[in-house]
Amino acid sequence: MEEGKKRMAVLVGCNYPNTQNELHGCINDVLTMRDVLVNHFGLDLSHIQLLTDAPAGGSDHIMPTGANIKKALGEMIDQAEPGDVLFFHYSGHGTRIPSVKHGHPFRQDEAIVPCDFNLITDVDFRQLVNRLPKGASFTILSDSCHSGGLIDKEKEQIGPSTITARGSAHSDDHKPKSIPFATILQHLSSLTSICTHEIGTHLLELFGSEASLKFRLPLHDGSILWPELLKPDDGILLSGCQANETSADMSPSPGGGGKAYGAFSNAVQTVLKEHSGQLSNRQVVMMARERLQANGVEQHPCLYCSDKNADAVFLWQPQENN
């Protein structure tokens, strides 16, 4: 990597403590990833922003609300210059919502679930990628359910497995990182007291201009709002599972010690630690798939990016002699 080029990261872990949706390993995931970024990739700690829904070290604790996450990502992209490497790691719940696109009444779109339920959708991530300066890269690692396709219209490189399976571990020590659409709708309805199944109505009522672009602008088929959608770009998505699968939040065995963790985050972090050399985005996803399969976890990580970036080095790690 050329001298002077920046590498920046936003790490978000949502455990939803003291709620019926509580997870246990998501904050651990991003804390471990912070260590990997600093120790393995040489990122400056001051270039890593951490957002968690419980204090996790550091004096500047920022809650991972929808607005705060989008602000952190937007500021990172605003600082980017050609050649910079941007990284977003999300560990938390994901969901699927009915498509609002014209002609897709039965299609479902992907979203992540911040701690305040202000959903961040595939369209929001597409908009962020479209703002990227030419020559910079933006890698998203999403350890959440239904995360395949989280960047709208990004090209699939490694997709649905030939073995059809809805992701679930073969053990009792996991919880799916998924909140059903009906549960989200019920929660938002209780806050707005509006009687409608249109989730966008509730989100706009609660969050206004901070709600997802999906509900604030007419998308039609996407071509009017995002004319550059189908051009190759430097958005890179490593998803914890296929769009129709769940990702596992693993808890340690009773009395066995250890920490809770996300199955996909742990697989990627283990792969990176075990290989001192450079790995391509394709290699990271395939090795993570193999590790999950060996551990009996039935979820299939996917890769979405341009052909060029599929075989580009993960996070464009600099040469060892630099």
Owning domain of residue 296: 7-316
Q: Which of 173-187, 223-237, 275-289, 301-315 has the lowest mean pLDDT?
A: 223-237
Does 186 fall in a domain?
yes
pLDDT at 322 over 70: no
Per the domain annotation, does 121 fall within a domain?
Answer: yes
Alpha helices, DSSP H, located in 160-198: 181-192
The answer to whether 108 and 200 are in contact (CB under 8 A) is: no
Residue range 155-182: mean pLDDT, rounded:
67
CATH no. for residue 274?
3.40.50.12660
Per-residue pLDDT tens for 62-78?
Answer: 999 999 999 999 999 99
Average pLDDT over the chain, rounded to whole?
86
Kindly state whether residue 321 falls inside one of the protein's structural domains.
no
**Quick check: 314 and 139 in contact, CB under 8 A?**
yes
Longest dimension (CA), the chain: 62
Flag whether 1 is in a domain.
Answer: no
CA dihedral 137, 141, 146, 150 (to 10 degrees): -10
Q: Is residue 15 part of a domain?
A: yes
| CA–CA separation, 103 and 226 (whole Å) | 17
Give the closest residue to 73 by CA, choosing from 82, 23, 64: 64
DSSP 26-84: HHHHHHHHHHHHHHTT---GGGEEEEESS--SSS------HHHHHHHHHHHHHH--TT-
Predicted local distance difference test score (pLDDT) of residue 169: 41
Three-class secondary structure of residue 285 per DSSP: helix
Active site residues: 93, 145
Q: Residue 81 has what pLDDT?
A: 95
Q: Tell me the per-residue pLDDT of 134-164, one tens digit each, with 9 for 90 and over.
A: 999 999 999 999 898 898 888 899 987 434 4
Q: Using pLDDT thresholds of 50, 70 and 90, give the confidence band for residue 283.
A: very high
**Could you tell me if residue 143 is inside a domain?**
yes
Please name the amino acid found at residue 200. G
The number of folded domains in the chain is: 1
204 within a domain of the structure (yes/no): yes
Q: Give a yes or no: residue 2 inside a domain.
A: no
Distance CA 69, CA 118 (A): 10
